[in-house]
Amino acid sequence: MAAQAPVDTDEALAMLHASLDHLAAVDWQAEGGRGQGQALRSLGAARAKWTVAHGAALTAFAAAGGYVADGHPSVRTWLRHQAKLTKLAARDLDLNARRLVAHPVLCEALASGEISDSWAWQLAAWNDRLPADQVNAADGILLDATRAGLPLHPDIARLAQAIYEAVRSQCPDSDPDDDGFRDRDVRMGTTLGGAGRLKGDLSAQCAALLSQVLATFGKNAGADDLRGPGQRNHDALEAALRLALGAPGIPQTSGMKTRAQAVMSLADLLAMDGASAAQEAWLATRAGEPGWFCGPAAQAAACAAQVTPVITGSPDWNVLSEMADVFLEAHGCQKDVSQENDTGPRSCGCTCGGCDCPPPGLQGPLSPAARLALERTLLAMSIRALSGPAGLPGFLRASLLGRPFNGASLVLDIGDTDDIPDHIRRAVILRDRHCQWPGGCDRPASQCEPHHLRPRADGGATSMENLHLYCLVHHHHFIHRLGWRIIHHPDGTRDAISPSGKIVRSHPLAGSGQGPPGQRARGSPTR
């Protein structure tokens, strides 16, 4: 049905408001998918036409100085106070009105509803780099591409770049050094609370680098990422700065933080008060898992890597049992002499029947508890024998292995630290390879940080088992700021739980990069 045309601007605006009031009250659920889709397409075209009408009115209003009558110094301040817009929205409306004047071809396409306003602004941004006399022709070429159904990215983007390169080659810059370097300027002010406001002019090279940073680190992290474009750009800049500095705080001396290390030997630790109880607790656990470093992928990773040798080990309980047997045999305590004939051979081998075999104090086979105590004693003695200043592990490694495995070894336990040692960080990166967010995230390790599943404040260890890679968005924004909790299960699956109780689950072992089953992390909640 053809709509009746209004006779003047006031009637047109009244009809517009009446139409919008009607559309705002529609029960869209009852319209069905077909009706909803048709309405959305029509509203999109109407929005493009509204953009043209609003831009034309705003341009005329600014040119006539209409804002002065209301006591405002500019059209932007008028929009903020009279139209109740935010400062950012007022700026965008003013800029878009100016773009419509500079791009009449795009303005005509918007008025006819051929393209959306967001597409028009992107085409305008690409062609704003061209000389003014080349803009209309370039806009027409890009519009023809949209009419042909080409996608904005990457096809039309590549076409815009090709146009720019062609025009630039035909019209070389008369001042090739005018890339904004002389006018470069960045200023930042801070509030009493420490928040900052950044403004400035970037050189062409700096602008290109910043654009790449924002595109790389400012991507949407998924359906649960509710940040706006500006917030993502802010977080991207922060992430890049953190990576550039390589530390949470600014380095304090010559680009490197001052660090003091307290080093002590295992022998010194064993001599301290309470060492015996700690040693008994360790012996009682009898736990240890081997690492992994094999196969073509490991060889490729180690080809250009800085190799750091580390000697590790775990008790061989069979050897320990044999040690106990040798000890008991040497003391004649392997046989139950009470079961032997008085005239038969004794534990010492004699048959006289008058000797004191076994020696006084050793009365036949040991009970299970006594034998276990003996085995622990022997193991503790073995540890002390091997952990001196020139212990056997270091001697064997330095004597038997060639370069690069015969250098100085690393400290195996550094306790609670303010940061994660490089050798542990590299091992976590080698294992995980990318962000471990349960909902799926392909951010590479270069954009990730190791996260303590159990926080250090709660006694969480800086260890392979307690560390997993998470990208800067999921680590800083989701986990630490929004309060999501991560749970790793023994089967390799992971859950992310929001403060409201929403659960995002991973698939079994999907993208875990965990190596052999024995290396999978145990389930541990975090916050």
Each residue's pLDDT expressed in tens, for the chain with a length of 527 residues: 556 888 899 999 999 999 999 999 999 999 899 999 999 999 999 999 999 999 999 999 999 999 888 888 889 999 999 999 998 899 999 999 999 999 999 999 999 989 999 999 999 999 988 888 899 999 999 999 999 999 998 899 999 999 988 888 786 555 455 566 677 788 888 887 778 888 888 888 788 888 888 888 888 887 788 888 888 889 888 888 877 776 444 443 334 344 444 455 555 556 667 667 766 665 554 333 333 344 444 444 444 444 455 444 555 566 667 777 777 766 666 544 444 444 444 555 555 555 545 444 455 566 777 777 777 777 766 765 555 444 545 555 555 555 555 555 555 444 556 567 777 788 888 888 889 898 888 888 888 888 888 887 777 777 888 888 998 888 888 888 888 989 888 887 889 999 988 888 886 544 444 433 333 333 333 33
End-to-end CA distance of the chain: 59
Phi, psi values for residue 88, rounded to 5°: -70, -45
> 475 is written with which tokens?
């680590």
pTM of the model: 0.38
d(CA 427, CA 18): 65
Phi, psi values for residue 18, rounded to 5°: -65, -40
> 278 is written with which tokens?
């700690």
Phi, psi values for residue 141, rounded to 5°: -65, -45
d(CA 463, CA 254): 30
β-strand partners of 188: 198
3-state DSSP: the chain helix, strand, coil percent, rounded to 5?
50, 5, 40
- Give the three-state DSSP class for 303: helix
Nearest-10 Cα torsion for 368, 369, 373, 376: 60
Cβ-proximal residues to 433 (8 Å cutoff; 6+ apart), any chain: 444, 445, 469, 513
d(CA 220, CA 439): 13
Q: Spell out the alpha helix ranges (H) of 171-310.
A: 204-217, 229-245, 266-270, 275-285, 295-303
β-strand partners of 525: 487
Instruction: Quote the distance between the C-alpha of residue 362 and its chain's center.
Output: 63
Instruction: Quote the distance between the C-alpha of residue 358 and its chain's center.
Output: 67
Helix axes 117-127, 32-64, angle to 10 degrees: 50
